[in-house]
Amino acid sequence: MFRYFRAAAAIAVLAIISVTGAGKALAQDRRPPASPAELRLSYAPIVQRVQPAVVNVFATKVVQNRNPLLEDPIFRRFFGVPGDQPEQMQRSLGSGVMVDPSGLVVTNVHVIEGADQVKVSLSDKREFEAEIVLKDTRSDLAVLRLKDTHEKFPTLDFANSDELMVGDVVLAIGNPFGVGQTVTHGIISALARTQVGITDYQFFIQTDAAINPGNSGGALVDMTGKLAGINTAIFSRSGGSQGIGFAIPANMVRVVVASAKSGGKAVKRPWLGARLQAVTPEIAETLGLKLPNGALVASVVADSPAARAGLKLSDLIVGIDGQTIEDPNAFDYRFATRPIGGTAQIDVQRAGKSLKLTIVLETAPDTNRGEIVITSRSPFQGAKVANISPAVADELHLDADTQGVVVTDLADDGTAASVGFQKGDIIVAVNNQKIAKTSDLDKVAQASSRLWRITLVRGGQQINVTLGG
């Protein structure tokens, strides 16, 4: 299973490379150690340079201890509801990386999710309270800002993570299991891992450096001390290091941090306006392809950037700006890291011919989102719902013509979460009334009813549910 890290950490990548005048590492400049003496070289200079920019992130939230008997309606009816239940403090521990001298720290969303208070501890043991500037759940990245500071902090600059190569040496610097700062090393085991399933953007750096629970938010850095990635999960059957860890590439981190610096509350990414699907061996055979690679266009939204560029149904996207695309996840990542306002050139195969199409990089229209939280007593209480605008459809990977109202979030203590609603559920009808917009659901939820007949769509499958009032 994949496990998120919960303790402070940072990871550094060391590659034995030469840098050209343009700053690009070339594959032919990498070489193995030439003698036993070279094996005695020390990583200490890199560790000393990276340490000051690596921080610990402490998140706390207050939760109420809920007696399971209180969830039993018979118990509640006969014995009444007791007074306030005792509260408990929950704590999580993770890592962060200073990315701006003013005190901006990047970490994982799951480290600070739901926190009432966040503190950051520096390598020199000083602690600061921090505010959450931006959370991007699609990438599992969050940006914090230290409070009440009047100094410049050491930072890590961004590297071009596309220049990393399998076999590059890596150092892991962190606080696994809370035992104190620790340094381990390994290599980059794989790049562009897309079948991991832990964030919306499936495109990870894989490393075999010893990473353990407690390393969330750690940093991958190159030999110049530049940030190449942020660690987010490990694959483990026991909870300990199995030699398989995953990091979010720096080129995605750069986009999130730039949005935070610009004052945005959400990350703005380009909108393609087309749904893509993977090429299976059967599809590859049908299309006459030698290998099942690329992203196949399954549908195109009218008047979207894809439509205006001339992208058509059954086109096969095989590259973007000169970079090869092996599957839809790779395209999503590459496209999402392109800057708004410019253009991207995609390589397409259509009926055996190669084409180059120019896509304008613009955000999806977010008009008439109508996002609300249902507060009335009903099975939907505590659910945040939205109309399916092009932006919402893009965020949740839905077809733009999807009908209904979608659940975008759930309160932990809400009725909707307790009865089993999930983020991404599309509510189509309630008590035989069609739900076309959020105001329809809000109105239905306010009606007194003993029985709730709900039709929803989850994962493309229609589900009919009946709940007692």
Q: What digits encode the pLDDT tens for the residues 208-245?
A: 867 776 678 888 888 777 888 888 876 655 666 566 78
Among 183, 239, 236, 241, residue whose Cα is nearest residue 208: 241
In a domain, 33, yes or no: yes
Residues 395 and 425 grouped into a single domain: yes
What CATH number did the domain enclosing 299 receive?
2.30.42.10
Answer whether residue 303 is part of any domain: yes
Q: Which of 16-30, 138-152, 398-412 has the highest mean pLDDT?
A: 138-152
Q: What span, in angstroms and rounded, lies between the C-alpha atoms of 98 and 304?
A: 37
Identify whether residues 155 and 28 lie together within a single domain. yes
pLDDT at 72: 53
Give the amino acid at 453. R
Find the helix packing angle between 250-261 and 328-336, rounded to 10°. Answer: 40
Residues 115 and 262 in one domain: yes
Same domain flag for 161 and 21: yes
Q: Has residue 27 got a pLDDT over 70?
A: no
Q: Which two tokens stand for residue 259?
A: 């949005």
Q: Which residues pair with 277 in a beta bridge?
A: 296
What's phi and psi for 328, nearest 5 deg? -60, -35
CA distances from 176 to 67, 112, 166, 322, 445 (A): 33, 18, 24, 39, 47
CA dihedral 33, 39, 43, 45 (to 10 degrees): -90
CA dihedral 100, 105, 109, 114 (to 10 degrees): -130
452 inside domain: yes
Mean pLDDT of 100-125: 91
pLDDT at 80: 53
Are 235 and 171 a contacting pair, CB within 8 Å?
Answer: no
Could you give the CA distance from residue 307 to residue 275 in angstroms, rounded to a whole number? 12
Per the prediction, the chain carries an average pLDDT of 82
Among 412, 407, 414, 467, which residue's Cα sits nearest to residue 435?
A: 407
Whether 304 is in a domain gets the answer yes
413 inside domain: yes
Same domain, 8 and 118: yes
Question: Is residue 367 domain-resident?
Answer: no
Q: Per mean pLDDT, which range of 10-24, 106-120, 223-237, 302-316 is the poorest? A: 10-24
pLDDT above 50 (res 16): no
Where among 268, 302, 331 does a domain terminate? 268
Q: Do 408 and 390 share a structural domain?
A: yes
For residue 83 the two structure tokens come to 């007074």
Residue 365 lies in a domain: no
Rounded mean pLDDT of 243-261? 88
**Spatial distance between the Cα atoms of 60 and 42, rounded to a whole number of angstroms:** 38
Q: Are residues 335 and 380 in the same domain?
A: no
The residue among 356 and 212 whose pLDDT is bigger is 356
Are residue 247 and residue 322 in the same domain, yes or no? no
Q: In this structure, what token pair is assigned to residue 72? A: 């039993």
Domain boundary among 268, 283, 302: 268
Q: Are residues 147 and 1 in the same domain?
A: yes
Q: Is residue 366 part of a domain?
A: no
pLDDT of residue 70: 52
Q: Which residues share a beta bridge with 405?
A: 387, 427
Same-domain pairing of 120 and 262: yes
* CA distance to 218, 259, 398, per residue, from 460 (Å): 36, 32, 9
Assess whether 406 and 260 both reside in one domain.
no
pLDDT at 366: 80
98 and 178 belong to one structural domain: yes
For residue range 35-88, list pLDDT tens digits in order: 887 777 788 888 899 988 988 888 887 765 555 545 555 545 555 555 555 566
Q: What is the pLDDT of residue 25?
A: 46
Q: Indicate which CATH number applies to the domain containing 21.
A: 2.40.10.120
Structure tokens at 461: 């499958």
Chosen domain end from 268, 285, 317: 268
Q: How far apart are CA 112 and CA 320, in angstroms?
A: 34
Distance CA 43, CA 451 (A): 66
Q: Which helix (H) or strand (E) holds 87?
A: strand 87-100
Residue 314: which domain range?
Answer: 274-360
* Total of domains in the chain: 3
Contact 10, 181 (CB under 8 A): no
Residues with active-site annotation:
110, 140, 216
